[in-house]
Structure 1
Amino acid sequence: MARIVLLVLPLLAALCLAEPSVFFKEEFADGDAWKERWLQSKHKSDYGQLKLTAGKFYGDEEKDKGLQTSQDAKFFAHSAGFPAFSNKDKTLVVQFSVKHEQNIDCGGGYVKLFPSTLDRADMHGESEYNIMFGPDICGPPTKKVHVIFNYKGKNLQINKDIRCKDDVYSHLYTLIVRPDNTYEVKIDNSKVESGNLEDDWDFLPPKKIKDPEAKKPDDWDERPKIDDPEDKKPEDWDKAEHIPDPDALKPDDWDEEMDGEWEPPVITNPEYKGEWKPRQIDNPDYKGKWVHPEIDNPEYTPDPTLYSYEDFGALGFDLWQVKSGTIFDNILITDDEKFAEEHATNTWGVTKEGEKKMKEQQDEEERKKQEEEEKKRKEQEPPEEVDDDDDDDDDEEEEKEKEDEEEEESEGPQKDEL
């Protein structure tokens, strides 16, 4: 027995100390060497260019360098390959950071995971992929996180609405797909959505369908209330809604030959009671709302391997942007959720606060600069011209004062004589 324990303990220790599988990791930390790993598709001749930069604001100029879309109104098609692997019986974690520092108006910020059979030199929008994941923004209506799985040749979008971040800062997006057919989506290392693959995507036909043989009986009464058959309309109920005003008098100057026959104005009849309706009573034949019976769907077959793909071999940016400037960084594909979380903390987590601080400083400097320019502009403006009307008024006052002085001079001697 002791010998068995001695054999098992090292095995358990080895399992506990097993390193996570890192299938792909890209932090763009080796300068222009990224160009050897990332290939631009030649499917079209006018794809947009990517460049290595930390952008206009950052927490660390070197650590925050990533691939940035650099041309407006362009499609982008770059991909990187890695040794092929399958996620069968494994957790799959896809993680990367996105920074829309251009305050994007319309464009994608997602990645695609392709099989190793992808012809990277000919990658395009119709190239078959396994998973598409990440933010997509196009005006106020579209600010969502795509989570799309390819299943038997069809691209299936998640049935839930996951809102993405739409500010100018770096944000981290994480997709976790587990062997028990569950999933989790995280933004900035915090869970925003989770569930079951079969429930949240249309991978399979429904388990239950309405029984095609079932039909609501003709005598099935779904009315909870009915008219009271004993309730009768009163004989004096019907009154006209409008009547001639009894207090109106024909004007004395009314000329019927000229004005036509006089008719009094119409008023609402105070005795009008509206449309009569019998009172309602409980329906004695009420059976409730008929529910269509369901049966097992003969076309439904469970699939415990919805999560699984036999072959991953490339990750690519296949997207369109109206206004460029998005930076992609800290890309990771692994089978270890904890490792992915630690990697996020040690990359995006280290520089995010510094990035925000630098942007706020730039905004404050720009605000002060605009205030100074506005102040200088006002100082350089010529003084306002005096209104001509004011000049005319001044001339009139001067002329009047002069006339008054002349009158005083002419009256002076006459007073002395008196």
Structure 2
Amino acid sequence: MELKMRLCVALLSLSLCLGLMGHVRAQEEADDMEMDVEDAIDDMQEEDVEEEEQQVPASPPVPTVTYKAPEPMGEHYFAESFDKGTLHGWVLSQAKKDGIDEEIAKYDGKWEVEEMKDTKLPGDKGLVLKSKAKHHAISALLLRPFTFDTKPLIVQYEVNFQTGIDCGGAYVKLLSQTPDLDLEEFVDKTPYTIMFGPDKCGEDYKLHFIFRHKNPKTGEFEEKHAKKPDADLRTYYTDKKTHLYTLVLNPDNSFEILIDQTVVNSGSLLNDMTPPINPPAEIEDPDDHKPEDWDERPKIQDPDAVKPEDWDEDAPTKIPDEDAVKPDGWLDDEPEYISDPDALKPEDWDEDMDGEWEAPQIPNPACETAPGCGLWQRPVIDNPNYKGKWKPPMIDNPNYQGVWKPRKIPNPDFFEDLHPFRMTPISAVGLELWSMSSDIFFDNFFVTSDRNVAERWAADGWGLKKAAEGAAEPGLVNQMITAAEEKPWLWIVYVLTVAVPLVLIIVFCCTGKKSSASTSAAEYKKTDAPQPDVKEEAEEEEAKEEESEAKKSEEEDSTGEAEEAAGNDNKDGNTSSEVEHLMLLETHRKYRKPFKA
């Protein structure tokens, strides 16, 4: 019975899992379709929403989360929540981008400080990229420059792709501290120390971590890119939720990249960047050349091999089958095709222009019932004597010298930087972006050297958003019903994966034993076979238990009866044997069994 119950629970769990998988897959497909048609319905969206608001009854109130602007509680270099509703402290770029058409060269993309379109936290504002197909650039100075010495760097901020993202970035640049830094001239070529954040175009989902490393020998800067995260980043771009992006750089050259406080990438600046921080100590000599007599052939033809005398290089691959026999009834004199007797020359046929008209060819009707028509030829078969062109066998090359490689020489550009964490100091944070999507929401920028302070800031900002978005989400059943309303075929999935297995489980668990018993009884009646005496065995067990209880009570009663019998014996003169006889009668009376005196 216990095994059956476990099986029931397992089957029910499996059916529910299958139902959820179908719902999740349908939801992902719905998200993809929304992304594909987004641009096409932008102009119609507002009108549709107004109509739906008039027709659809108001949904039950959603539990609210009270918003309070986060405040930094510890050492920090930059903190911006935008909740004052202004761009105070931020500078819009007035520059133009070099090397592109004048029409799109200006950084004239619009920025606004506002709440999210579908905000769950009234009063929570952020920086919103408003324009599509425009260059955007905005930046702000840190409270003080950050110097890479003995303290870690923690950078975090929030992003919400409110209308999805087709092609565009949402990464932040930490601008290098330089004497000529002018935020009004902020462009793509403005020197930065670190670039970090999400970027997407097509189906290429990226999470950048790039830093510019200074060559200690030449003073030139080179971009170093972190390895690609192993995690699937797709949902962070498509779920239209607010996500927290965090970069942690430690003085021991280790780094961590987190999304929603979960590590999605980590490594070492020394070992996990491309190209590597340090060049190789030796390089191939560019002036070294392979000698003309260098033999790289591992195998050569045997020079001593001789073609066998019976080797016929001219033998054909196929020969006629001499054992074949022409089938009976073969019509040698009948052609396979004949002129169509029903064909007529077109009226507009001009023999001077088109030549002599000939009726089209059709299969000969006489050949339909015959094995074949025309000249019979033997079929061809593989030639057993065919050997092809003779080639000497291959042997190991006694002069093989291996694959030639240029010799190694000391790298004239070699250097060894064991502390790449010591980057160029940063003095500003900036967003320099091009996007084919609008309404990208940024919020709660924070730069610090204390991870606990960063986590407190995240809890007071992003943590509230997460709680509010979670409270606003419908329950699982409502999500499944909503998905089925949009995709009616999901009802079939629900029935097949939930309802049908549930009915089968109930039938299996509740009726299996009864059915088995009734079948067994019917079978005994049909065959008149001996039936196990299960009932009698149970009665015997019950009788044994009653007998055990009776013995206990007998011991208690026998003493009183014996004393009473003894008294009667003294009065009436009964013997001791009569007393014992009376005791036995009383015992058998209690057991209700026949007694033989």
SS at match of 1:121: helix
Contact 1:245 1:264 in 2 (8 A): no
What corresponds to 1:95 in structure 2? Answer: 156
Q: Which residue of 1 aligns with 2:198?
A: 135
Shift of 1:105: 0.8
Equivalent AA in structure 2 for residue 158 of structure 1: H
Q: Is the alpha carbon distance of 1:55 and 1:236 closer, same or farther for their aligned partners in structure 2, counting shifts above 3 Å?
A: same
Counterpart residue number, 1:49:
111
* Separation of aligned partners in 1, 2:202 and 2:479: 24
- Report what 2:75 is aligned to: 21
Pairing 1:179–2:255 present: no
CA shift in 2, pair 1:174/1:207, >3 Å: farther
Q: 1:118 to 1:365 in 2, by over 3 A?
A: farther
Query: SS state of the match for residue 143, structure 2?
Result: strand
| Larger Rg, first or second structure (1 or 2) | 2
Per-residue deviation, 1:147: 2.1
**CA distance in structure 2 between the aligned counterparts of 1:80 and 1:68, rounded to whole angstroms:** 15
Q: SS of 1:102's equivalent?
A: coil
Task: Pick closer, same or farther for the CA change 1:265–1:329 going to 2, 3 Å.
Answer: farther
CA distance in 2 between counterparts of 1:342 and 1:274 reads: 81
C-alpha distance after superposition, 1:44-70 (max 9, x if no partner): 373222332134254x4445x422222
State whether residues 107 and 137 of structure 2, in contact with CA within 8 Å, keep that contact through their aligned partners in structure 1.
no
Change (3 A) 1:328 1:230: same
CA distance in 2, matches of 1:57, 1:248: 89
Residues 281, 410 of structure 2: 8 Å contact kept: yes
Question: Percent identity of the aligned residues?
Answer: 35
Higher mean displacement: 117-126 or 363-372: 363-372
SS in 2 for 1:303: coil
**Pair 1:365–1:91, CA change in 2 (3 A):** same
Quick one: structure 1 residues 155 and 108, their matched pair in 2 at CA, closer, same or farther if it must change by over 3 Å? farther
1:338-349 to 2 correspondences below 5 Å: 338-349=452-463
CA displacement 1:369-408 (0-9 Å, x = unmatched): 7689xxxxxxxxxxxxxxxxxxxxxxxxxxxxxxxxxxxx
1:280-291 matched pairs, under 5 angstroms: 280-291=394-405
1:207 aligns with 2:281: yes
Any conservation in 2 of the 1:20–1:335 contact (CA below 8 Å)? no
Report the CA distance shift for 1:237/1:312 in structure 2 as closer, same or farther (over 3 A): same
- 1:129-175 CA distance string (max 9 Å, x none): 222111110101x2112222234564514163347443232222222
Displacement of 1:207: 2.9
Residue of structure 2 equivalent to 1:328: 442
Kindly indicate whether the alpha-carbon contact (under 8 Å) linking 2:109 and 2:130 is maintained by their aligned counterparts in 1: no
Change in CA separation of 1:108 and 1:356 when aligned onto 2, cut-off 3 Å: farther
Task: State the Cα distance separating 1:176 from its structure 2 match.
Answer: 2.5
Distance verdict in 2 for CA 1:233–1:70, change over 3 Å: same
One-letter identity of the residue aligned with 2:382: N
2:105 aligned with 1:105, yes or no? no
SS at match of 1:166: helix
Determine the C-alpha separation between the residues in 2 that align with 1:224 and 1:337: 59
Structure 1 unaligned segments of length 5 or more: list them.
Answer: 1-18, 256-261, 373-418
Comparing 96-105 and 363-372, the one that deviates more: 363-372
Counterpart contact for 1:86–1:310, Cα < 8 Å: no
Question: Where does residue 167 of structure 1 map in the other structure?
Answer: 238
Secondary structure in structure 1 of the residue aligned to 2:87: helix
Q: Does the C-alpha gap of structure 1 residues 86 and 323 become closer, same or farther in structure 2, counting only changes over 3 Å?
A: closer
Deviations 1:159-208 (A, max 9, x none): 63347443232222222233344433233323333334354144554432
Quickly say closer, same or farther: Cα 1:224–1:294, change in 2 above 3 A: same
Contact preservation (8 Å) 2:154, 2:248: yes
Contact 2:140 2:429 in 1 (8 A): yes
Q: Which residue of 1 aligns with 2:333?
A: 252
Amino acid at match of 1:110: Y
Where does residue 351 of structure 1 map in the other structure? 465
TM value normalised by structure 2: 0.49
Paired with 1:159 and 1:295, the residues of 2 have a C-alpha distance of 29
The alpha-carbon distance between structure 1 residues 193 and 290, as it changes in their structure 2 partners (threshold 3 A), is: farther
TM-score (norm 1): 0.68
Aligned residues: 345
SS at match of 1:35: coil
Counterpart for residue 408 of structure 1 = none
Give the structure with the larger helix fraction. 2
Is the alpha carbon distance of 1:50 and 1:118 closer, same or farther for their aligned partners in structure 2, counting shifts above 3 Å? farther
Q: How much is the aligned-residue C-alpha RMSD, in angstroms?
A: 3.8
> Taking CA–CA contacts closer than 8 Å with sequence separation of 6 or more, which of the two structures ends up with the larger relative contact order?
1
**Pair 1:31 & 2:106 matched:** no
Tell me, in whole angstroms, the C-alpha distance in 1 between the residues paired with 2:449 and 2:394: 65
User: What are structure 2's unaligned runs of at least 5 residues?
Assistant: 1-72, 96-105, 215-219, 337-374, 489-597
CA distance in 2, matches of 1:192, 1:350: 22
Residue of structure 1 equivalent to 2:136: 76
Structure 1 residues 45, 241: CA separation in 2 closer, same or farther (over 3 Å shift)?
Answer: same
Instruction: State the AA in 2 paired with 1:121.
Output: E
- Alpha-carbon shift at residue 314 of structure 1 (Å): 1.6
* Structure with greater strand share of residues: 1
